[in-house]
Amino acid sequence: MFGLKKQMGLAAAAMAVAAVTANAHPDSLVLTPPLGWNSWNVFHENINETQIKEVADAMVSSGLRDAGYIYLNLDDNWMDTKRDANGDLQNHPKTFPSGMKALADYIHKKGLKFGVYGDRGKRTCHHYNSNWVSENGSYMHEEQDAKKFAEWGVDYLKYDNCDPAPGSNQEEDYTRMSKALRNSGRDIVFSICAWEYKDWMPKIAHLWRTTFDIGPEWRSTSWYRGVYEIIDANDKYWKIAKPGNWNDPDMLEVDNRNLTYEEQKSQMTMWSIMAAPIMISSDVRKMSDQVKELYLNKDMIAINQDSLGVQGHRISNVDGKQVWTKPLRNGDLAVALLNDNTSTQTIECDFADIGVTGEVEVRDAWQKKDLGKLNHVSVEVPAHGSVLLRLILEPVPREPFKGKAFAIPGKIEMEDFDVSGIGQGNVSYSDGDSENQGNSDYRKGTPVDIYEKTDGRIVIGYNQKGDWLEYTVDVAETGEYTLGAYVASANETSSFKFSVDGTDITEEISVPKGEGDDNYDDYNLVEKKVNLTKGEHILRFTVTSDWMDIDYVQFEGSGTARIGKKVAQSRSAGLVKGERNAYSLTGRNLGRETKKRSNGMYLLR
């Protein structure tokens, strides 16, 4: 969601890294982009049981499975044109005579997952385009088909967009299948193939096609889209991707006709940097060593599978010479250099232009080589070629928002979470979307949803499952404390928990539902007994069920005076006339200043 923009500093880069949630939506099936194989680009409609079993064997023997390519997905034409006497989808009797359950069992025994293809309309695309009389679409059969998929042992459904029923609604059709899969009793990855992105898709699916079908050319001369055209189109959706929700720029065309080696390598480079699902679609039973090396490159896979889940995006494009970046979980930065020209070009990248100061260790993924400490690169890149680098950055520690740890016993305002640093363990928040949905600029530059209530209180709202905030705290003495959280919700199912240094100190705590409808102003103080150890720690607040607001948390020891219910006040409370709060560029409260100024923002030295 957040990448590094040109001339961003490291503090801003930290904010970019911190903006990404760690939980999937609607669940946790694909927290990293799915890797696997799909039948369409190589075999099209001409698939059969023997061939698919051989592909499964090859995925194991070649090392693809162990490298992470675990999904084996059948595309169109595995099914018969007719449903059975019960109205169920059924396998084609000649090409898949043993049935789908038997095939799924074979694939599962290989340590792979099994995927199938379906369509939201009356017929699948191949049957529709062949003008066959067929009833293999899932329109108004969603619950029945999802249960059948679960019965067979299906792990992944690619759901196409052909032959929609007259008067049908695309969003409603896909939503029905999404709900049916969730109700099927089996975890099934839902992949929407509607040939373009729409805003409702992340709410119901794990991945969705952002573009029309890909073809085996750099730029298309036919009805499909070329590899570069797909790259260019997919880039505009980079902020949407996150763990559990992925933009899908379609399958690989590697090892198929027409593409040069450099173009094939560039597709791997760009699918890696864009955190795209990587679905091989070539005949892996007879791939060359050169192609196998592309698929199995560990550095490339690590960048694609990085758990931070940020989709890399284009930083610059000068005469077809492009620089792309992707922040990684441990604080490193992946960089792709892409040449869209028809001749070799020199591509230069000054690391300061992508937010990296000084010299850093650089590794070339395709060369599998460490390049040493550099502050820039200048590379001769072949026509339609690419370079994939990993910049290994030194960690920058997190800092308490107000410069020192919160004292316990005491009160913590939830909007005063730590200032993020760089690298693993130095990120202080995770939010499920890339924008601050609130109305306050109190922590401008973060996506945490901060609201100022009408009475002047600052609260954290729009909280969704998996969101979390962290605070550096200093516990005065080891012992039992009363934790009190001031919370509100319009739902009966909202909940949260607290942990210290990665260990839960509470179970899930329910949030009382406010009186009336959609009432997020009816706050309640919810209390729990917790045990804390003396010293400095990291306190984490985690949302465990959607849609709650939280104002503050307080800790009281047995010998401390009760803090009591918070008196509503604004951030300007306590300021005398002429005073104002001053903040650093990273959002830290630096104190107050009194110089008379007009309204606006100023840089103070």
Q: What is the DSSP string of 24-85?
A: -SS-STTSS--EEEESHHHHTT---HHHHHHHHHHHHHTSTTTTT--EEE--SS-B-SS--T
User: Considering 75, 80, 119, 160, which one is annotated as catalytic?
Assistant: 160
What tens digit of pLDDT does each residue of 361-405 get? 999 999 999 999 999 999 999 999 999 999 999 888 889 999 999
8: confidence class by pLDDT, cuts 50, 70, 90: very low
Do you know the residue count of the chain? 605
213 included as an active-site residue:
yes
pLDDT band of residue 96 (cuts 50, 70, 90) is: very high
| Least trusted range by pLDDT, from 35-44, 82-91, 174-183, 454-463 | 454-463
End-to-end CA distance of the chain: 32
More confident residue, 28 or 531: 531
DSSP state of 557: E
Residues in a beta bridge with 259: none
The pLDDT score that the predictor gives to residue 140 is 98
Beta-strand pair 113-119/71-73? parallel
Burial class from Cβ neighbours inside 10 Å (0-12, 13-18, 19+) for residue 576 reads exposed
Per-residue pLDDT tens digits for 222-278: 999 999 999 999 999 998 999 999 999 999 999 998 999 999 999 999 999 999 999
Residue the block writes with tokens 């609604």: 169
**pLDDT surpasses 60 at 502:** yes
Q: Is 298 exposed, middle or buried (0-12, 13-18, 19+ CB in 10 A)?
A: exposed
Instruction: Give the pLDDT score at 9.
Output: 37
- Burial classification of residue 533, based on how many CB atoms lie within 10 Å of its CB (0-12 exposed, 13-18 middle, 19 or more buried): exposed
DSSP of 339-373: E-SSS-EEEEEEGGGGT--S-EEEEETTTTEEEEE
Q: Is the pLDDT of residue 453 over 80?
A: yes
Return the DSSP state at 198: -
Report the distance separating Cα 73 and Cα 117, nearest Å: 8
For 38, phi and psi rounded to 5 degrees?
Answer: -130, 145
Domains located in the chain, CATH noted: 406-574 (2.60.120.260)
Distance, in Å, from the CA atom of 170 to the CA atom of 109, rounded to the nearest integer, reads 36
Task: Give pLDDT tens digits for 170-215.
Answer: 999 999 999 999 999 999 999 999 999 999 999 999 999 999 999 9
Which helix (H) or strand (E) covers residue 398, if one does? Answer: none
239 and 434 Cβ atoms separated by less than 8 Å: yes
Instruction: Report the percentage of the chain scoring pLDDT > 90.
Output: 74
d(CA 465, CA 25): 9
Return the residue matching tokens 């698939």: 47
Q: Which two tokens stand for residue 269?
A: 């480079």
pLDDT in tens, 144-153: 999 999 999 9
Task: Name the strand (E) or helix (H) holding 128.
Answer: helix 125-129
pLDDT digits (tens, 9 = 90+) for 504-547: 999 999 999 887 666 788 888 999 999 999 999 999 999 998 88
80 is catalytic: no
Could you tell me which residues are beta bridge partners of residue 134?
Answer: none
Pairing status of strand 524-532 against strand 479-488: antiparallel
Q: Name 485's bridge partners.
A: 526, 553
pLDDT of residue 582: 54
pLDDT tens, residue by residue, 221-235:
999 999 999 999 999
User: Are 474 and 498 within 8 A, CB to CB?
Assistant: no
